[in-house]
């Protein structure tokens, strides 16, 4: 068990982060770092001490902010943090930790959305739909639309956009896990617990079966009606772009491999990464890298 000021410091950070969630601008930073304090606490302290610190944080935080809101924000951080801390203690490699944590954080975001709608009566989906509908109707009324716009087209567009919320949660979870795990791992290592680092970018390799999953999902996407609202449609509409993002990350790894193989300056693949991640068609490079021996073909012969 760790004693002294450090657990108290991490408890204070855990107390403050949910409070920052309601402050525009600071809420993004709070979201990205939300797993760090509880992960460090649950890794360094024994179970009873961790529970005491957590209960103290929750009680004090509930006195400052609306209790339901504060507890909702905190639970979205505490549950994944406990799981992440257990992974650290078990010595799991980062390559195994990250995908599992992304899936768990996505589930927590979905549960948080249900909590907001059913407990606090805050309907993010409804508010977003109303905002987009109003905006599109205003554009059409002012004659700013380049094509003839109808209310049916507005309804279809809003339906499609709200159906992509799981994809938004996936992107958010990816960023949260990447930031929180990177920092929490370093904090835990500073206290003497070794956690295997994520492989270097040049060594990133996705399993080949994802190529087949992508092609099947892509073919199914060509046959579905994006406005029918069924679970299968929702799953396919979000799976294809999610896999595209994953293959774009693989493409970044490919360029890091080529840079290392050819002795390029380290800044070159870093600069290439930005357009690769921002331009969806670039994900085809990552797909080809997984499906074929692309690295061998482009490697400089020694």
> Smallest Cα–Cα separation from 60: which of 122, 133, 11?
11
pLDDT in tens, 76-130: 899 999 999 999 998 888 888 999 999 999 998 888 878 777 776 766 667 777 7
- Residue 119 carries which DSSP code? T
What pLDDT shows up at residue 1? Answer: 46
* Paired tokens of 197: 């680092």
Torsion of CA 173, 106, 27, 23, to 10 degrees: 170
Count of CA atoms in the C-beta half-sphere (13 A) of 166: 17
| pTM for the full predicted model | 0.84
pLDDT in tens, 117-169: 777 676 666 777 777 777 767 766 666 555 556 666 666 777 777 778 888 89
């Amino acid at each position: 068990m760790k004693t002294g000021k450090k657990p108290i410091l991490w408890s204070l950070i855990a107390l403050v982060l949910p409070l920052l969630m309601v402050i525009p601008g600071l809420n993004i930073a709070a979201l990205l770092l939300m797993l760090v304090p509880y992960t460090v606490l649950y890794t360094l302290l024994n179970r009873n001490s961790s529970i005491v610190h957590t209960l103290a944080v929750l009680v004090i935080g509930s006195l400052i902010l609306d209790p339901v809101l504060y507890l909702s924000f905190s639970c979205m951080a505490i549950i994944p943090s406990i799981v992440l801390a257990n992974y650290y203690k078990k010595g799991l490699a980062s390559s195994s930790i990250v995908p599992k944590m992304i899936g768990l954080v996505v589930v927590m975001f979905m549960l948080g959305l249900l909590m907001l709608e059913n407990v606090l009566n805050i309907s993010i989906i409804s508010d977003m739909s109303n905002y987009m509908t109003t905006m599109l109707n205003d554009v059409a009324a002012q004659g700013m639309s380049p094509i003839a716009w109808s209310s049916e087209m507005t309804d279809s567009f809003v339906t499609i956009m709200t159906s992509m919320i799981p994809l938004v949660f996936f992107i958010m979870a990816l960023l949260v896990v990447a930031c929180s795990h990177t920092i929490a791992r370093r904090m835990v290592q500073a206290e003497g617990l070794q956690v295997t680092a994520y492989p270097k970018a040049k060594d990133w390799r996705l399993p080949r079966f994802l190529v087949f999953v992508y092609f099947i999902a892509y073919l199914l996407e060509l046959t579905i009606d994006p406005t029918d609202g069924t679970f299968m449609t929702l799953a396919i509409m979000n799976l294809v772009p999610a896999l595209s993002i994953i293959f774009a990350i693989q493409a970044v790894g490919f360029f890091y491999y080529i840079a290392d193989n050819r002795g390029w300056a380290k800044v070159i693949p870093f600069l290439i990464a930005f357009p690769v991640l921002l331009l969806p068609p670039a994900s085809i490079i990552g797909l080809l890298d997984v499906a074929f021996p692309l690295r061998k073909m482009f490697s400089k012969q020694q």
